[in-house]
Structure 1
């Protein structure tokens, strides 16, 4: 049964994204400070409903408070005070933090993505410090306990560390994944059961966008949709979206984007003059060499799309897979 919140979010054009509360300027950190993130708080907020959450405060820890850290204890990850007082009983906050992840998703089953505070023992999604019981740092390969709970319960949902969003390529990639995931969620909400036609129509506009991210996923999706094994559509659909979302996790680069642009230019073979084609090739080459941003050859090629018969190319998500107002493709 579809929840009321899922239906409400389906009727909204805005993304719904969970986010560590400190990134929105909430003074909830251990030192009563915040880590306000400009992209999230100033730009993303214009196109998304951001749902702030601080799991440490949510489990009852005070602000300010002593810092906590992950400790590898008895083959499990515990979350404890960083500097416990001598003689104090060891308190493990990990179970409570994990429970908060389940509670949050139960209250917000219509999320399109999540942005976590980097390096946090509760919220970091990658490279979190994990210590030995003797106090020495063992690894920097951990995942925040709360973040791990979110990701385990919603493995296909796009998540990202706020620190990584400062990289323009990673930021653009996250927005691409948000769009694909939301479109899939809305498709499933609109159907009692999916058909092969639904899968093919869903994928068609994403073809060249996926090609830019992962040739491996691009080929795998093609094989899946051919369905030579005659798999039931419900099973095929699960495999399809898993391959698609994994493919979009791969960061596109100038070489892969240039390859896609050249593929798309093939559609214009009979519709561009030699001079126009040479101009287009020159812009693609300048982009490939790092002289111009992606938006430059895209704008020029899109200008020529109206010359083509049909609308297959014009309907490709590759042209603009996210809100143009963010200006993300001017930075990559």
Structure 2
């Protein structure tokens, strides 16, 4: 499979020696698994904004009305404005590339996504966002963003990869020119996915799509993309997945024998109780779909949200 889905990434996570101590934070999952599917766009805000390697450590401090980026041992060396200027310019460039996701370096005062230390006069609080990543979130609110360390969690990992492939599918479906028909067709394929992630958003987006004729198509494209990715950012729960599995099960009520129905019910219930992984009912449902094909079900991305070789549903 061609690695053509563009994903931004902190350069150190790719193994580039750009950190303050000339080190890196190589992620094996990123380089060994995701690199087969993603084309990474590498960025190191600190180096690209003019800081040397190696360099003095930097930190975020609470500076009156705003957060400032300064050197840890000499707070008179203030890098706040240069980092903000760089971030605005670089992210504006990235926004033209149809990025489908971004992997940032955890705890970094420039790239951290959450719980970055912010030093006050008396103590440090883990409530900050790196200056660069904060600008990224502001300029591209629809973009899936995740930290390198959180990708070790199977649920967070699966959710991030699902969102990246979803956004890529959306862009590919539009083919550079959104139309009402393309958006309606895309939404139809993601109905079960949205039900699993956030039933309320599924209903709201359904109403929105039903009124697409009342909008300028470019405005609707932006509105739908934001709503779609906000919904996808909510992790699919075991309860919601179970409801979707039972919904799919209903399509086979006339085809399956009593014993087969009982087996399917038991496997879905075992998943609901946490005894079996999601992969178990999914495999059985796909088996029945091969025997009794249904055009609507076969179009649903819930069943195949990303390449199977990523093996992300094994731990769910």
Name the TM tier (shorter chain).
over 0.9
Q: 1:125 aligns with which of 99, 113, 122?
A: 113
- TM-score normalised by structure 2 residue count: 0.93
Between the aligned partners of 1:101 and 1:185, the Cα distance in structure 2 is 24
Q: Map of 1:1-332 to 2, 5 A cutoff?
A: 14-84=4-74, 90-108=76-94, 109-110=96-97, 111-132=99-120, 134=121, 136-137=123-124, 139-191=125-177, 193-195=178-180, 197-227=181-211, 230-308=214-292, 310-332=294-316
CA contact (8 A) 1:124 1:147 kept: yes
Partner SS state of residue 33, structure 2 = helix
Between the aligned partners of 1:65 and 1:242, the Cα distance in structure 2 is 38
Report how many residues are paired: 313
Instruction: Please list every run of 5 or more consecutive structure 2 residues that lacks an aligned counterpart in the other structure.
Output: none
Ranges of 4+ aligned residues in structure 1 off by more than 4 Å? none
CA contact (8 A) 2:137 2:143 kept: yes
Q: Could you say what the CA RMSD is over the residues aligned between the two structures, in angstroms? A: 1.9
Q: 1:67-107, CA deviations, whole angstroms, 9 ceiling, x for partnerless residues? A: 110111120111001121xxxx7122122222333333344
CA shift, 1:211, in A, is 0.6
CA shift, 1:199, in A, is 1.7
Between the aligned partners of 2:293 and 2:132, the Cα distance in structure 1 is 51
Between the aligned partners of 2:80 and 2:35, the Cα distance in structure 1 is 30
Partner SS state of residue 124, structure 1 = coil
Between the aligned partners of 1:229 and 1:188, the Cα distance in structure 2 is 17
Decide whether aligned partners of structure 1 residues 69 and 188 sit closer, same or farther in structure 2, where only a CA change above 3 A counts. Answer: same
Between the aligned partners of 1:228 and 1:330, the Cα distance in structure 2 is 38
Partner SS state of residue 70, structure 2 = strand
Between the aligned partners of 2:241 and 2:123, the Cα distance in structure 1 is 44
CA contact (8 A) 1:102 1:149 kept: yes
Q: 1:18-49, CA deviations, whole angstroms, 9 ceiling, x for partnerless residues? A: 11111111121112211111211211111111
Decide whether aligned partners of structure 1 residues 28 and 180 sit closer, same or farther in structure 2, where only a CA change above 3 A counts. Answer: same
Decide whether aligned partners of structure 1 residues 266 and 72 sit closer, same or farther in structure 2, where only a CA change above 3 A counts. Answer: same
CA shift, 1:141, in A, is 1.7
Between the aligned partners of 2:222 and 2:39, the Cα distance in structure 1 is 27
Instruction: Please list every run of 5 or more consecutive structure 1 residues that lacks an aligned counterpart in the other structure.
Output: 1-11
CA contact (8 A) 1:271 1:307 kept: no
Partner SS state of residue 115, structure 1 = strand
Partner SS state of residue 27, structure 1 = coil
CA shift, 1:309, in A, is 5.3
Partner SS state of residue 319, structure 1 = coil
Corresponding residue for residue 6 of structure 1: none
CA contact (8 A) 1:14 1:47 kept: yes
Corresponding residue for residue 7 of structure 1: none
